[in-house]
Amino acid sequence: MIYLDYQATTPLAPEARAAMLPWLDGPEAPGFANPHSPHRAGRAATAAVEVAREQVAALLPPGGRVVFTSGATEAINLAIIGSGAMRMAVSAIEHAAVLDTARFIDPEVAVLPVDGAGLVDPDVAIPQGTDLVAVMQVNNEIGTVQPVEALARRAKDMGALFLCDAVQGAGKISAPENADFIAISAHKMYGPKGIGALWVRDGVPLSPLIHGGGQEGGLRSGTLSPALCAGFGAAAALCTSLSESDRDHVDRLWTKAQALFAGWTLNGSADARWRGNLNLRLPGLDVGRLLSECRNVAFSAGSACASGSGRPSHVLRALGLSDRDSKSAIRIGYGRYTGDDELEQAAAAINAAARAQGVI
């Protein structure tokens, strides 16, 4: 299997797995201890959690705290609902975790449009009286990098909070400096599934969603998993130390992919983009058939969270594409562990299957 679905999830880094294993041991080596227990084993587990917190925090701006959550979806819910904001403005291409939560709080949520390249205008009209603005850093379907710094400044100037879903950007590009909340997820940066974090700017009030033991500074009750935290921390530390080589590797694969998929149309900006995301379309392409015929290549028809719905992508529709064109798109994602030969073999299989449909 050639894996090219890095936007859905990334492979677990061997270093992250190694960091997790000591905290999964049995009674003979009590790494399984509850990190909220006061005994020696519990204190050791607490120390591991706090080391991980520092490693994750190193990816984020100074002047804030990291709250561990079950993933970015919970982090986003905590930010939106816990902030107490009632009037929302969100970009048209947000992940469902933002769109659905914002609509839950504000059924009249203001939707900020994007242009044909998939970018929000930094000067887009934001309604007066908005309490919270949410714009993602890197889009999960088309990879466009949004002007979040400028939009966060505008939100601040009008007295609104700013939430940034940085799931696809964390560990790859610099974190937004002006946000009040930043949501990230371990499994999108070579860490384990089941853990994420919300960065909260110092001084920004926030109420918990989950009540109980008062863990995570009272913001997220529940026993933390030292193993998941350790894996998250190790993955974050790797993203810090390997940032330049990771970026160079992705840039090289991007250049190769452009040549391998000549004749396909790129969705979203080619410049303001994370280059590990290649969203392409061919007029008349039957994507379901293509996926079936390329069984040894893992790629997608869009967001993993919505790919089974059968509905056209709301992201591609926001770019102005018709439903027909939206349904003729595929997403190819690659990263640290993708080899040049894998990309070449996958492209050959995908192109051959498309050619068999008569669309190339």
Positions annotated as catalytic residues are: 305
- Are the beta carbons of 289 and 354 closer than 8 angstroms? no
Q: Whose CA is closest to 219, among 206, 231, 232, 229?
A: 206
Q: Measured in Å, how far apart are the chain's first and last C-alpha atoms?
A: 24
Q: Which residue has the tokens 């894998």?
A: 342
- Are the beta carbons of 285 and 354 closer than 8 angstroms? yes
- Are the beta carbons of 258 and 55 closer than 8 angstroms? no
Q: What is the DSSP string of 319-349?
A: TT--HHHHTTEEEEE--TT--HHHHHHHHHH
Tell me which H or E stretch contains 89: strand 88-91
- Are the beta carbons of 109 and 103 closer than 8 angstroms? yes
Eight-class DSSP state of 145: B
Distance CA 31, CA 48 (A): 10
CA distance readout (Å), 81 to 74, 85, 109, 136: 10, 7, 14, 17
Max CA distance (Å), the chain = 68
Distance CA 325, CA 58 (A): 41
**Which residue type does 108 have?**
E
For the sheet containing 277-281, what is the strand order?
265-266, 277-281, 329-333
Which ranges of the chain would DSSP assign to H, the alpha helix?
14-20, 40-57, 72-82, 96-105, 148-157, 226-241, 243-260, 287-293, 314-318, 323-326, 340-356
**Which residue type does 49 have?**
V
SS3 content of the chain, % helix, strand, coil (to 5): 35, 15, 50
Residues 6 or more apart whose CB falls under 8 angstroms from that of 188 comprise 7, 9, 10, 72, 167, 168, 170
